[in-house]
Amino acid sequence: MKSIYLVKHGGAAKAFEFRETPKPIPGGGDVIIKVEYSGLNFADILARKGLYQDAPPIPSVLGYDVSGTVDSVGKDITDLKKGDRVAAFTRFGGYSEYVAADRLGTVRIPDNLESAAADALTTQYVTAFYSAAEVTNLHEGDNVLIHAAAGGVGTALVQYALYKKCVVFATAGSDVKVALLKEAGAQFPVNYRKDDYKEVVKKYANGGIDVIFDSLGGKYVKDGIKLLGAGGRIICFGAAEMSRRSNIFFKAKTGLSFGFYHPAQFIIPSKSLIGVNMLRIADTKPAVLKRCIEEVMELYKRGVFKPVVGKIFSATDISKAHEYVESRESVGKVVIKW
């Protein structure tokens, strides 16, 4: 079978190589999936640039999620069979024609759901669900601020916050994305490369922001904490800001721009900062991952989650797919098709 190896950190054009590798053999609890779509996630861009500390050393195969059909199953699995349509987490290794996925991170695709869209419901929707429904609660009328709201995780967060009848302040980097967010129902979408989202929040969020979903890091965290009202929570799950440049001075400056905190700064105004790393959750709490993906599928069936596939590339265009996600133009999920 073919796998796409990351062989060189840096620009996408020279980063990847197709290699022949043996088809995986299932362990007892594994599902071997014949992959139809491999999903891209922003972490793949960071890994390609050598900025992602959890990524395996090169040469390695990236890819957190896939969708396709069951090829074979391990001896402990009785509820899936060859040909069943599934989507799964892969914890790297997803850019391959066949993958071995843990049954706990594998979910059946409902009949009415297209496979590329099903892939969107894995890493990105599960991260959103875990962040918005497990580590915090959203309540009707809450003021919620979602950064990079038109992206993969962002789209899911907007859908969930609107389902919970929250008031959604959503940032995005272009007018096209702002128009999409408006169409999706976000009440206060802001092109934050043009306008000051903080002013919009200050003007319209009475009592401050209740929950911020921050995937940008740096000064967005420091500014976000100031925008929180009493009881407010900031959920930090990314640092896209760090990816702008890779030189050591920029990294140090962005690192410092997060700010330094003492617990009293949270206790006295009654605010919280919460970190989320789904990879760590998947590695150490697979039952939580299983619960989340099943809940996400339920919310899809109930019409709450409507996965958006922004663009489908051929697997041979993996470099173009990476460049597209990195360009900040992408909306929703980007996948490659085998």
Beta carbon of residue 23, minimum distance to ligand NAP (angstroms, whole number): 28
Tell the residue number behind the tokens 């790393």, with chain if given: 277
Q: Give dist(CA 181, CA 139) in Å, integer.
A: 20
Contacts of 202 (CB under 8 A, 6+ apart): 227
Q: Which of 173, 208, 218, 232: binder of ligand NAP (CB under 6 A)? A: 173
For position 150 contacting ligand NAP by CB under 6 A, the verdict is yes
For position 95 contacting ligand NAP by CB under 6 A, the verdict is no
- Cβ distance 169 to 197 under 8 Å? yes
Q: Which is nearer to ligand NAP, 43 or 161 (CB)?
A: 43
For position 24 contacting ligand NAP by CB under 6 A, the verdict is no
Q: Which of 127, 136, 159, 254: binder of ligand NAP (CB under 6 A)? A: 127
Structure tokens that stand for 171 in this block: 């940032």
Q: Give dist(CA 248, CA 266) in Å, integer.
A: 30
Q: Give dist(CA 311, CA 125) in Å, integer.
A: 17
The C-alpha angle 47, 52, 54, rounded to 5 degrees, equals 105
Q: Give dist(CA 211, CA 125) in Å, integer.
A: 18
Q: Which of 121, 172, 212, 336: binder of ligand NAP (CB under 6 A)? A: 172
Q: Which of 225, 229, 208, 206 is nearest to 217 (CA)?
A: 225
Q: Which of 99, 113, 276, 335: binder of ligand NAP (CB under 6 A)? A: 276
Fill in the per-residue mask, 197 to 236: x = in contact with ligand NAP (CB under 6 A), - = not in contact.
Answer: ------------------xx--------------------
For position 240 contacting ligand NAP by CB under 6 A, the verdict is yes
Beta carbon of residue 139, minimum distance to ligand NAP (angstroms, whole number): 23
**What are the C-alpha distances in Å from 130 to residues 14, 41, 84, 138, 190?**
35, 17, 26, 12, 25
Q: Which is nearer to ligand NAP, 98 or 197 (CB)?
A: 197
> Considering only 39-47, 80-88, 105-113, 250-258, which stretch makes contact with ligand NAP by CB under 6 A?
39-47
Q: Which of 100, 47, 43 is nearest to 77 (CA)?
A: 100
For position 238 contacting ligand NAP by CB under 6 A, the verdict is yes
Beta carbon of residue 297, minimum distance to ligand NAP (angstroms, whole number): 18
**What are the C-alpha distances in Å from 53 to residues 49, 66, 150, 338?**
11, 22, 26, 28
For position 122 contacting ligand NAP by CB under 6 A, the verdict is no
Q: Which is nearer to ligand NAP, 159 or 215 (CB)?
A: 215
For position 66 contacting ligand NAP by CB under 6 A, the verdict is no
Per CB under 6 A, residues contacting ligand NAP are 41-43, 123-124, 127, 148, 150-154, 172-173, 177, 215-216, 237-238, 240-241, 243-244, 276-279, 325, 328, 330
